[in-house]
A = this chain, B = another copy of it.
Amino acid sequence: MKRIAIQTADFDVAAELAALEALGGGGVASFTGIVRGEEGGLIALELEHYPAMTQAQVDRIVEEALARWPLLGVSVIHRFGRLEPGARIVFVGTASRHRAAALESCAFLIDWMKSDAPFWKKEHFGDGATQWVEARAEDEAKAQGWRS
């Protein structure tokens, strides 16, 4: 099972996990990223992406995960548009007969999504100020780690 969705709408984590659990693998790992609420005065994140590139890029990295680990299923969902604190941004779910394969591939995919997927985030604050989020060096390093 391979499912990739780049969408503005929220998603149903339970339904995604149920589909992965139904593959009979024995183990399902997941990671859900959520807009943090506590940053001073943040009222929304605006996510921009490169539509012509995103789907193909995510597909490529999912294929890489499928080649590296014995997976029965992968589900990757990434939202774009305006998201308020508490909203889900990204979901990665993996199913495998092997616990380590499910966990490691989930970490691999979310590290990639967080560092290499063509998304950009703009913060909107309560006082009307906006700011583009800077890429974090540690994210670039983390994705790099999987290549070594």
Whether the Cβ atoms of B142 and A100 lie closer than 8 Å is yes
Report A98-125 CB contacts with B as 1/0, cut-off 8 Å: 0110110011001100100000000000
Count of chain A residues with a beta carbon within 8 Å of a chain B beta carbon: 34
Chain A residues 1 to 26 lying within 8 A of chain B, measured CB to CB, are 13-14, 17, 21-22, 24-26
Task: Judge whether A32 is part of the interface by a CB distance below 8 angstroms.
Answer: yes
- How many copies, total? 2
Task: Judge whether A33 is part of the interface by a CB distance below 8 angstroms.
Answer: yes
CB within 8 Å of B: which residues of A? Answer: 13-14, 17, 21-22, 24-38, 85-86, 88, 97, 99-100, 102-103, 106-107, 110-111, 114, 142
